[in-house]
Structure 1
Amino acid sequence: MQAEAQLAKSAILEVALQLAEKSSWDRIHLFDVAREMGVGLADIHRHFRNKDALAEAWFDLADAALLRLAQTPGWQQVPQKQRLQFAYSAWLDALAGHRRLTREMIGYRLQPEHVHLQVRGVLRISDTVQWIREVAMLPAAGWRREGAETVLTTIFLAVFARWLVDESPGTRKTQVLLGRLLVAADLGARLVAGLSLRSPASLRAFN
């Protein structure tokens, strides 16, 4: 039964995305989705309480792609800094098929009357960054962990903002920015912690 519900949710989301691609995210309505699928609004409501829940499901797919990285054979042997780069990239790549719509979803949430969506978005970012830490297997604890989370959140926001408008082939400019920010974060962590390049890897927030 749970599998059937998941399939229904996936089908609804896919129809919504396809319809929005023909116009815009702002113009799509749940009754459009229901009509396209030949079902009633109650059938949509059974899986999505409102339109923004569709956007949440879209970002859930990115989180799922991020989490799948942890199942990669030999993942623990990949250097931490590289794991971080892969983690950010996997999250973004999962959204690449509907980048314009992703940008419009963010714009919809940032409208002045959607304060409740903005609060939800902040919480969402916090959760995603937490999972980036877990997937990258960062060992920091205590104040080092809090500092690392602040840095990772800043990187996430900067890279995501760049990716939303990046028209370069393969979003190369976004990847370059991500690489530079991770290098800067690594250097900053070393300076703050007073670590040298030969310090034990288990004591580093990055690398």
Structure 2
Amino acid sequence: MRARIIEAALDIAEHWGWYDIRLHHVAERLNLPIAAIRAEFRDGDAIADAWIAQADDVMLAEPAAGFAELPVEERLQISLEAWLDALAPRRRVTAEMFLAKLWPVHVHHNLKLITWTSRTVQWWREAALLDGKGQQRSVEEIGMTLIFLSTLGRWCRDRSEGQQRSKAYLRRSLRRADCFMACTARVRFRMAG
């Protein structure tokens, strides 16, 4: 039932836009009472959350053989691309979902977006098999959050085939971050020595 509701909401949003979707339209499309929608989702934002959570599942799926031996930069690229590709069939609607969460009068959504971003970055770390500890982990999380948000912002507007521009941006950002982390490690080593 939940999958049917999500799909119907996305179909309607493809035509009307996410801002204009009404849950009674979803109920009508599925020939259900509105109470059946309420029994599964507390509101439209919960439907958006459930749609986006499906991308987390794709990102966290069993990796291909040899994934753990790849360089960190490559594991991060593969993991986040899997997340973005899962949302790509509904990229425009997904972008509208994120914009709706940023709407100034929806403070409750704004605050949830901060928590959601942190949680998604944590799952990205897990998917990429990162093991940083202490200060290194903190620096990684800050960098990954900035990379995640800037890539997501580009992806939301990216009309290139397969969102290749966003993926190229992600690759460049991860390469720069990798260089930064290597330089930071060398400086720490020199200071300790």
Q: Same fold (TM over 0.5)?
A: yes
Match of 2:20 in 1: 27
Q: CA deviation at 1:138?
A: 1.2
Q: Is the counterpart of residue 90 in structure 1 residue 82 in structure 2?
A: yes
Q: For 1:46, what is the secondary structure of its paired residue?
A: helix
Tell me how far apart the structure 2 counterparts of residues 64 and 82 of structure 1 sit (CA, whole Å): 19
Counterparts of residues 165-204 of structure 1 (less than 5 Å): 165-194=157-186
Q: For 2:37, what is the secondary structure of its paired residue?
A: helix
- Which structure has the highest helix share of the two? 2
Counterparts of residues 1-80 of structure 1 (less than 5 Å): 8-68=1-61, 70-80=62-72
Tell me how far apart the structure 2 counterparts of residues 193 and 51 of structure 1 sit (CA, whole Å): 45
Unpaired segments ≥5 residues, structure 1? 1-7, 200-207
Tell me how far apart the structure 2 counterparts of residues 109 and 134 of structure 1 sit (CA, whole Å): 25
Q: Is the counterpart of residue 107 in structure 1 residue 99 in structure 2?
A: yes
Q: Which consecutive aligned stretches of 4+ in structure 1 deviate over 4 angstroms post-superposition?
A: none
Unpaired segments ≥5 residues, structure 2? none
**Amino acid corresponding to residue 75 of structure 1 in structure 2:** F
Tell me how far apart the structure 2 counterparts of residues 71 and 89 of structure 1 sit (CA, whole Å): 13
Root-mean-square deviation (Å): 1.5
Give a deviation string over 1:179-198, Cα, whole Å, max 9, x none: 11011000100111117xxx
Q: Is the counterpart of residue 139 in structure 1 residue 131 in structure 2?
A: yes
Tell me how far apart the structure 1 counterparts of residues 43 and 162 of structure 2 sit (CA, whole Å): 33
Name the % identity.
38
**Amino acid corresponding to residue 50 of structure 1 in structure 2:** D
Tell me how far apart the structure 2 counterparts of residues 47 and 33 of structure 1 sit (CA, whole Å): 12
TM-score (norm 2): 0.94
Match of 1:4 in 2: none
